[in-house]
Structure 1
Amino acid sequence: MSATREVKFSEAELRRQASDRSVRDLRDPRHPGLYLRFWSTRDRGTWHLVRGKRWVPIARWPDLSVAAVLEVLPALRQRLMRDPATAPVASGMDTVGRLLDWYGDRMSRDRSLSAKRKAGARSAIARHLKPRLHYLTMVDVCADSLDKLLMWPCQAEVSLSYLRQMFALLLTAFRQALQLGLIDRNPMAGMRFSDFTKAKILPKAARLRDVQLPEVIQKLVQAFDAAPGDAMLALMMLAHGTRIGETRRARWSDISLAAAEWFIPAAHTKTRTEHRLPLTAQLRALLVRYRAIQQAHGYDGAYLFPSRRGQPLSEAQASAVFTRLGKGAWTSHDLRKVSRTTWTDLGIDGHIGEMLLNHSLGKIASTYIHTQAMQQRRAALEKWHAWLDGIGFSAIHGLKEALSEISRNRMQPANGAASSNLTEFVISEDSKA
């Protein structure tokens, strides 16, 4: 089987010729140099561009249809003239737009990714990557084309940190497609973000400093009376340095006053690892007070921060809380940042601080450190909460009042029984929750 047959390229004609095993190669006089060579299975083939005696594979059929290969043929001829060693066009992904469609769909069905990350990728693809790169053919993807169509125009419109995220998404899409055999080469291989700009990505300036915390605490004291849910969300984040997504979805079943621990499931964390935070005496007293307020208002449900529909606050609803509290001066993330900064000023070990924030410790640390350091974490939070007490936190959690009440009960026991300490006090409340 070595015959080459002249035909007029069309999908129907290719499938008819595929049934004739006496034919190996097809060519169309209207498109000199373009050949289709059938595989032995006859249901697939490889498009070639023949230059002299050299057969350059450019794509696979039927992954790349007749119409698709003819569409990219002029650009491919020019590319091969500039660089004779150019690798082939990729399967059916003849344009970056098709690659992004595939990768976007793949991400949307990846259960290991958070809803927030999926939404971010979907937005980046729809608003920036596809509008600029949709019709860019695979053979024309290079540093120059990406710089002209994407990197340089976008740096004038979005932050460099966001542009770097888009670059990383595009690079990952190419890598994944290559690993799965969907493309025959990665045109972005070896590219770095620094190839396109030497500007440094600076961290966002802190909008909240420790010297401002006394004023913030006083506002939260007032807010706790008027809107206890709003104030409690901010206080939980400030007291533990947690993320807004971790905090807004907290359940009462994740809070153990008896064990003095707040458990955050892996599904709720950015690092996808479960997180355990010690609860200080101040926080246990605060949780008891807050639960009593919820119950007094008729709520005895599962969440610390419920929405009107009985589910936890949504991302938008939680963000609105900090719009009300911060009034544009600070955000939820500023609470996390000021907590971490002040921990350093208080002399709290940096490694313990990172563990409290549930940051990834890196491969080496994760390999050699197999402890949650709960005692060290508890000591760090006790030091932090004592510092917060000094600027007004005690007026919210009411720990001294609770201890005073326990002391009076101890002096005047009812029926010969008395609460002996705060732990018994909070456990009794916990049992009602």
Structure 2
Amino acid sequence: MSATRSIKFTETEVRRQAADLAVRDLRDPRYPGLYLRFWSDRSRGTWHLVRGKQWVPVARWPDLGAAAVIAELPALRQRLLRDPATAPVASGMATVGQLLDWYGDRMARDRSLSSKRQAACRSAIGQHLRPCLGDLPVKYVTAELIDKHLIWPGQAKLSLSYLRQMFGILLTAFRQALKLGMIESNPLAGVRFSDFTKAQITSKAARLRNVHLPELMQQLTRAFDATPRDAMLALMMLAHGTRIGETRMARWSDITLAAAEWFIPAAHTKTRTEHRLPLTDQVQALLIRYRAIQQAHGYEGVYLFPNRRGDCLSETQASMVFTRLGQGQWTSHDLRKVSRTTWTDLGIDGHIGEMLLNHTLGKIASTYIHTQAMEQRKLALEKWHAWLDRIGFGAIHGLTNALSEIPQNSAQANGCAASGDLSELVISEDLM
């Protein structure tokens, strides 16, 4: 096998030639002196710069693809001229595509990230960042090119908030690569998303308001009789303001009726911090009724919301629950929003509301509040569930002596002193 074949260097063509055992070397007339020699197993090869009879290895394929080595070619030739005795081996991260592949693989192996976050990153890189920027040489990246290839085309078809998230992934990838010495410089240092557009990123309008809740409660009452699992998932989210991910994975072992607490493990939360929610009398009655329904249908498993295999509902299956219930009019996150909004209307303290949502607090605030908050959270939820009772919640949980509305507790509740100056800002999940 000694054949040298002349082709046009593209990654697709190189891989096609790798399957032909009659070919050992590839060249492209457009780039004199640049050759790719396949290894014996054909899955790898070495890029060479040929000077006379001397073959100088400069990079490995497929670590450095065709587009990447061509982008590096001028610099390789200059380095070889300056120091002919040194083989100018090129970095394996010459293009933005290679940088994104490296960073995507790094995030996929990061155990501190939730599977949902990993999937979102994988989707952003695979569906948008790499197709738009993959062939750009890292050393030639500028804000102008990012605007031309990603931001401006993207804003015509994607929301600005999603576009900002993608840009954040790109920035983080460059910063991490620079810290680890994977690239020589960060061409996006100091570049901000606001440099590309001054348009304001607005939050999605709420599709559920408290005036809609009486009708919703009637719908959930009917659904509880027909499909108790679907209705219970919605009710637990509405009653506590929890996220769909942390709710769908709830286990019966996380529910302690004796201590009147729902424990959500850190591994199930977006903030990666455990979350403890007091259980009101209404919710305890609801859980008892729901467990009896499960047992009557022969289910004795560990999950509140099992699928047919006995596992908890998957992300897709849980989303389908709200496709059925919402009928395109509202989503699971709208339950969380309407809960938080109504808490404010009921006069529930803002910090307590944020703690119930398990938003990340500033370090000082979370340390200061922690020892006093459980009783205040319980009082807040009792007030909320008493309000829900008046619009039909009592018909579902079946508690005969449904609690009347409990007034908002003062700072001296149960003899505890006021919480003091809680000026630490709350970090909303929308900014994480």
**TM-score, normalising length from structure 2?**
0.75
SS of residue paired to 1:282: helix
Counterpart in the other structure of 2:303: 303
Q: Distance in 1 between matches of 2:401 and 2:365?
A: 43
Contact 1:278 1:377 (8 Å CA) reproduced: yes
Counterpart in the other structure of 1:419: none
How far does residue 213 in structure 1 lie from its aligned partner after superposition? 0.3
Q: Distance in 2 between matches of 1:144 and 1:76?
A: 23
Counterpart in the other structure of 2:194: 194
Q: 1:139 to 1:279 in 2, by over 3 A?
A: same
Deviations 1:25-83 (A, max 9, x none): xx9779xxxxx9xxxxxxxx9x9xxxxxxxxxxxx999987978751246769xxxxxx
Q: 1:90 to 1:292 in 2, by over 3 A?
A: farther
Counterpart in the other structure of 1:116: 116
Q: Distance in 2 between matches of 1:267 and 1:163?
A: 27
Q: Distance in 2 between matches of 1:366 and 1:301?
A: 35
How far does residue 110 in structure 1 lie from its aligned partner after superposition? 1.0
Q: Distance in 1 between matches of 2:232 and 2:144?
A: 51
How far does residue 364 in structure 1 lie from its aligned partner after superposition? 3.8
Counterpart in the other structure of 1:71: 70
Counterpart in the other structure of 1:207: 207
Within 5 A, what are the aligned runs for 1:227-306? Answer: 227-306=227-306
* Letter of the structure 2 residue corresponding to residue 72 of structure 1: A
Q: 1:178 to 1:61 in 2, by over 3 A?
A: farther
Tell me, yes or no, if structure 1 residue 107 matches structure 2 residue 78: no
* Letter of the structure 2 residue corresponding to residue 102 of structure 1: W
* Letter of the structure 2 residue corresponding to residue 176 of structure 1: Q
Contact 1:141 1:187 (8 Å CA) reproduced: yes
Counterpart in the other structure of 1:140: 140
Counterpart in the other structure of 2:93: 93
Contact 1:322 1:332 (8 Å CA) reproduced: yes
Contact 1:323 1:331 (8 Å CA) reproduced: yes
**TM-score, normalising length from structure 1?**
0.75
Structure 1 residue ranges without an equivalent (≥5): 1-7, 13-26, 31-35, 37-44, 48-59, 78-88, 404-433
Contact 1:11 1:66 (8 Å CA) reproduced: no
**How many residues were matched structurally?**
347
Q: 1:63 to 1:187 in 2, by over 3 A?
A: farther
Identity %: 72
Deviations 1:68-109 (A, max 9, x none): 8751246769xxxxxxxxxxx983210000001111111111
Q: Distance in 2 between matches of 1:110 and 1:372?
A: 34
Contact 1:236 1:242 (8 Å CA) reproduced: yes
Counterpart in the other structure of 1:154: 154
* Letter of the structure 2 residue corresponding to residue 279 of structure 1: L
Q: 1:196 to 1:382 in 2, by over 3 A?
A: same
Structure 2 residue ranges without an equivalent (≥5): 1-32, 38-48, 77-88, 404-432
Deviations 1:370-415 (A, max 9, x none): 4361000000000000000011111111111799xxxxxxxxxxxx
Q: Distance in 1 between matches of 2:238 and 2:295?
A: 24
Q: 1:133 to 1:65 in 2, by over 3 A?
A: closer
Q: 1:142 to 1:226 in 2, by over 3 A?
A: same
How far does residue 146 in structure 1 lie from its aligned partner after superposition? 0.5
Deviations 1:179-225 (A, max 9, x none): 11111111111010000111011000000000110000011111111
Contact 1:250 1:303 (8 Å CA) reproduced: yes
Q: What RMSD, in angstroms, separates the aligned Cα atoms of the two structures?
A: 2.8
Q: 1:68 to 1:212 in 2, by over 3 A?
A: closer
SS of residue paired to 1:329: coil
Counterpart in the other structure of 1:394: 394
SS of residue paired to 1:276: strand
Contact 1:90 1:182 (8 Å CA) reproduced: no
Q: 1:135 to 1:372 in 2, by over 3 A?
A: farther
Contact 1:206 1:337 (8 Å CA) reproduced: yes
How far does residue 294 in structure 1 lie from its aligned partner after superposition? 0.6
Contact 2:72 2:94 (8 Å CA) reproduced: no
Counterpart in the other structure of 1:175: 175
Counterpart in the other structure of 1:352: 352
Work out which of the two has the higher radius of gyration on C-alpha atoms and give 1 or 2.
1
* Letter of the structure 1 residue corresponding to residue 251 of structure 2: R
